[in-house]
Amino acid sequence: MSTIASFGVGTFRLQGQTVIDSVRTALELGYRAVDTAQIYGNEADVGQALSESGVNRAELFVTTKIWTDNYAKDKLVPSLRDSLQKLRTDYVDLTLIHWPAPANDVALTEYMEALAEAKALGLTRQIGISNFNIALTKQAIAAVGKKEIATNQIELSPYLQNDKLTAFLKEQDIAVTSYMTLAYGKVLKDPVLVKLAEKHQATVAQVTLAWALQLGYAVIPSSTKRENLASNLLARDLKLDADDMAQIAALERNGREVSPDGLAPAWD
């Protein structure tokens, strides 16, 4: 199975000095994985933070995602070269197709093959997908082989546990990366999670991230506050028991936060 970083810092919705400070602080605190995307419009800022951090490139795990405008065979590789320039690096560790975008006019096989070509050229160490359902993941596997797909980065939280999809990915030996693990902060006031946090003398965010990590998922929470970035990292040391996990499993409510028209698939 491909190895992806299990704990990173996300940069969705952060721009300019805000994202530079967030990434710089995360690296100071010990984070080594950073997740960005072409559409976030912050790759150059992230690149500045990475290059000014003094952290050796070999220690970093940098992920970016190809935007739908760049899926065509003649656009994908040039767009990734552009991303690398912004990120001030010769390669990224992981490049994902951001959305399956069924309304897009580029065939899945075409963009998966273009992504595999980017890997063959050494522009990215690993490749993967994001926001793919089971049927589309099967098509991606058919296009490039399951060993080539390092992860499927999906929205996943105590309120949206995606059991069918995660079971399928596990079967295929494709790692799950969870984004929106805190459901835009909605889970932070959940009475069940608040109780568990009290039991473990932890924060609700720590409990939620620990739950995802214990299920074997990678997580990429973002924050602009040093104390939250530091606190989130401690989730790695928090061990939940079987009863805790069962209580969180019972919070499932299909609470999806992100499903843009034209980009999202028919969810499982």
Q: Which positions are annotated as active-site residues?
A: 40
User: Tokens 């596990």, residue?
Assistant: 170
| Contact predicate 126/150, CB 8 Å | yes
| Contact predicate 94/126, CB 8 Å | yes
* Backbone angle region of 214, left / alpha / beta, with phi > 0 → left and psi within -120 to 50 → alpha: alpha
| 98 is known to lie in a ligand binding site | yes
Strand ranges of the sheet holding 9-10, from the earlier edge strand across to the other edge: 9-10, 33-35, 61-66, 92-97, 124-130, 149-155, 175-179, 218-219
The phi, psi pair for 207, rounded to 5°, reads -60, -45
Numbered residues of the known binding site for substrate: 98
Numbered residues of the known binding site: 98
